[in-house]
């Protein structure tokens, strides 16, 4: 069926064009056979040549790790007061040890920028 054939080709062309525009990721992929160090999934291509020393991760685990790194840190819930402006603080990105004054985010940034 020639009509169907033409449709299929046109469809493929459109989708690959969209891919290229979508993320601009045109790095050449390295073909091979590896195993994800995290979940054990089979990996057939990587955006880099693994050196054998560092673990390789499948796309999902890699994205999960990136998200973990960028995601919000574990916050400690509590009831404190900013040592500078006195505002109530209900969560901190760390467990205060009492040796340092606790500052709200605004005061913390102010102090940091002043240094």
Which residues form the interface with Zn ion (CB under 5 A)?
Answer: 36, 38-39, 41, 58, 61, 82, 84-85, 87, 104, 107
- First-residue to last-residue Cα distance in the chain: 73
CA-CA distance, 13 to 21, in Å (whole number)? 13
Cβ proximity to Zn ion: between 8 and 111 the closer is 111
Cβ proximity to Zn ion: between 76 and 85 the closer is 85
Rounded least distance, CB 94 to Zn ion, Å = 16
Rounded least distance, CB 52 to Zn ion, Å = 18
Rounded least distance, CB 77 to Zn ion, Å = 18
CA-CA distance, 79 to 113, in Å (whole number)? 26
Cβ proximity to Zn ion: between 16 and 48 the closer is 48
Cβ proximity to Zn ion: between 11 and 50 the closer is 50
CA-CA distance, 64 to 74, in Å (whole number)? 16
CA-CA distance, 42 to 20, in Å (whole number)? 25
The answer to whether 82 and 102 are in contact (CB under 8 A) is: yes
């Amino acid at each position: 069926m020639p009509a169907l054939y033409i449709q299929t080709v046109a469809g493929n062309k459109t989708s690959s064009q969209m891919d290229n525009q979508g993320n601009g990721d045109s790095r050449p992929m390295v073909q091979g056979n590896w195993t994800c160090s995290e979940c054990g999934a089979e990996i057939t291509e990587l955006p880099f040549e693994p050196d054998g020393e560092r673990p390789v991760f499948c796309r999902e685990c890699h994205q999960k790790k990136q998200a973990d790194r960028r995601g919000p840190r574990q916050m400690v819930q509590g009831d404190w007061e900013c040592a500078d402006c006195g505002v109530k603080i209900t969560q901190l990105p760390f467990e205060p040890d009492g040796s340092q004054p606790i500052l709200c985010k605004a005061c913390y940034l102010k102090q940091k920028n002043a240094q």
